[in-house]
């Protein structure tokens, strides 16, 4: 069933905080990994722990999740949580949310939340739109479900390049917290200079949001990340003194009571 995405303003209840917000540091980087690829546990997580970096791993049971040669087991997902990383919700089926009814999307979201509960993982408070596509109806569902942040893609500000590229820097004064843009996505057309560019944008109260999939991702060559290049990227973030966090950690810096009138709420977007 196809959802109808009408222009809308999405209300969110302010999230009470017990501490004052921290100033956004220069070089704030949000590190995210999509789809639950097995190398996230075997290669990525140990390297991130070495540098003391935070990260969010967005888990879906779609794609080819049953293939345990290439995808995580739920025990490994629990292991990522135990290691201090965030587990985010990427839906059960990895469907385009623009083509789902609200009830279908709620069911896809609830399935991942239930699976997390079964493995002693907290209910996810951050979300990643499958395929980067989003619409106001989906944002409304996420808001009512209590999500704090959700990551979208590049569009409409930048063209979508499935094989990797640049997007907007996240500006809390401009972007709705449930429409956080992707600043960099790794792939064969992505270069190290793109990472440098992204970090350069992370200033003046803005954050660079980086997207990886598997390191490597053997099933999806268009988002493949070479481990040697990835190691270089992480070393660069460390040497530059970046603050590297999971998406949930944005609550330390972003006032949840202030929701900007993001123009992307008025139309469906892809990218």
Residue 169: inside a domain, yes or no? yes
180-202: average pLDDT: 96
Residue 112: inside a domain, yes or no? yes
**Greatest Cα-to-Cα distance within the chain, rounded to the nearest angstrom:** 49
Closest CA to 178 of 3, 2, 15: 15
Closest CA to 152 of 190, 174, 178: 178
Rounded percentage of the chain residues whose pLDDT exceeds 90: 87
Question: Count of residues for the chain?
Answer: 271
- Please give the residue that has the higher pLDDT: either 8 or 24: 24
Distance from C-alpha of 202 to C-alpha of 205, rounded to nearest angstrom: 7
Distance from C-alpha of 141 to C-alpha of 146, rounded to nearest angstrom: 9
111-118: average pLDDT: 98
Residue 2: inside a domain, yes or no? no
Residue 241: inside a domain, yes or no? yes
pLDDT of residue 269: 82
Neighbour count for residue 182 (Cβ, 10 Å): 28
Residue 99: inside a domain, yes or no? yes
What contacts 188, CB < 8 A, 6 or more positions away? Answer: 163, 164, 221, 222, 224
Residue 4: inside a domain, yes or no? no
Cross-strand partners of 88: 58
pLDDT tens for 22-79 read 999 999 999 999 999 999 999 999 999 999 999 999 999 999 999 999 999 999 999 9
Q: What range defines the domain where residue 151 resides?
A: 28-266
Residue 237: inside a domain, yes or no? yes
pLDDT tens for 131-169 read 999 999 999 999 999 999 999 999 999 998 889 999 999
Residue 8: inside a domain, yes or no? no
Can you point out the beta strands (E) in 223-267?
243-245
Closest CA to 253 of 209, 210, 212, 213: 209
CATH number of the CATH domain containing 256: 3.20.20.370
In a 13 Å sphere around the CA of 124, the CA atoms on its Cβ side amount to: 33
pLDDT of residue 19: 63
Q: How many structural domains comprise the chain?
A: 1
């Amino acid at each position: 069933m196809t959802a109808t995405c009408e222009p809308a303003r999405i209300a969110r209840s302010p999230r009470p905080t017990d501490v004052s917000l921290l100033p956004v540091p220069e070089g704030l980087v949000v590190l995210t990994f999509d789809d639950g690829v097995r190398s996230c546990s075997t290669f990525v997580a140990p390297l991130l722990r070495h540098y003391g970096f935070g990260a969010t791993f967005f888990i879906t049971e779609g794609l080819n999740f049953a293939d345990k040669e290439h995808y995580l087991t739920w025990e490994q997902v629990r292991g990522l949580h135990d290691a201090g990383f965030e587990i985010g919700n990427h839906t059960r089926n990895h469907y385009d949310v623009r083509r789902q009814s609200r009830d279908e999307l709620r069911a896809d979201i609830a399935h991942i939340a239930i699976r997390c509960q079964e493995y002693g993982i907290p209910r996810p408070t951050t979300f990643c739109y499958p395929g980067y596509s989003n619409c106001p109806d989906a944002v409304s569902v996420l808001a009512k479900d209590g999500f704090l942040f959700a990551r979208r893609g590049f569009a409409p500000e930048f063209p979508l390049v499935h094989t990797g590229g640049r997007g907007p820097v996240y500006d809390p004064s401009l972007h709705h917290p449930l429409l956080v843009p992707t600043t960099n996505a790794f792939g064969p057309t992505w270069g190290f200079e793109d990472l440098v560019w992204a970090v350069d944008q992370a200033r003046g109260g803005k954050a660079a949001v980086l997207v990886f999939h598997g390191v490597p991702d053997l099933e999806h060559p268009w988002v493949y990340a070479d481990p040697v290049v990835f190691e270089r990227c992480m070393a660069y973030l460390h040497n530059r003194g970046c603050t590297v966090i999971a998406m949930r950690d944005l609550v330390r810096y972003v006032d949840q009571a202030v929701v900007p009138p993001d123009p992307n709420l008025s139309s469906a977007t892809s990218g």
